[in-house]
Amino acid sequence: MALKNATLKKWLICGAAFCAAFNAAAQNAEARATVPLPFYNLHTKQAMVIHHASGKAVSKEINDFMRDHRRNEPANMDSRLFDLLVDLKAAIEKRHPHIKVKFETISAYRAPQTNEMLRSKGGSQATQSRHMHGDAIDIRVPGLTTKELRDIATCLRRGGVGYYAADGFVHVDIDRVRYWPSHDYLATLKCK
Ligand SMILES: [Zn+2]
């Protein structure tokens, strides 16, 4: 009986050790798949590091952070936009290893009313702006020129890339691949 108990005890300990190792491996895998995305909103002056993993639901905190600041209306962000930003961050760091990427945000979610208001004031907002769908963001990255950011975003060949040289930001979205205001730079663009 004593032997049986010892065997049982050993089995339980091994079982627990196996579970611990299994859990640690699972946690490591999750940590590897989770990428920190630092943001700073230039309008609200708020900062947030979003820990994004592909397929992860967008939290209330993120939707609040990405809100339409003019109406204080929370966003309903598309998780796939953060997949794109994870890849954009990796592409920037590959080309410019000295840059610690932070996305300074000019505009994320825009309520339809805000979009219309900005348009009526002569802004360049599209009638069907992707910002209203929570799958677009206007950003700049300190350390990168607007042109460099545009080129790296273009080389991903995913979604829309808008170049706003005068205002110093780049629009990216996860809609179909397209570029504006001009396609001219594509002819000489070097993607490595
Ligand atoms: Zn935009």
Q: Give the model confidence (pLDDT) of 149-186 as tens digits.
A: 999 999 999 999 999 999 999 999 999 999 999 999 99
Give the chain's domain count: 2
Quick check: 3 pLDDT over 60? Answer: no
How remote is the CA of residue 105 from the centroid of ligand 1, in Å?
10
Does residue 126 sit in the same domain as residue 178?
yes
**Cα of 138 from ligand 1 centre, angstroms:** 5
Distance from residue 27's CA to the centre of ligand 1 (Å):
36
pLDDT for 7 beyond 90: no
Does 183 lie in the same domain as 104?
yes
CB atoms within 10 A of CB 25: 10
- Residues 16 and 50 reside in one and the same domain: no
The whole-number average pLDDT for the span 1-6 is 53
Whether 29 and 124 map to the same domain: the answer is no
pLDDT-derived band at 19, boundaries 50, 70, 90: low
Q: Whole domain around residue 40: which residue ranges?
A: 35-187
Ligand 1 centroid to Cα of residue 131, in Å, is 6
The per-residue pLDDT for range 63-87, each reduced to its tens digit, is 999 999 999 999 999 999 999 999 9
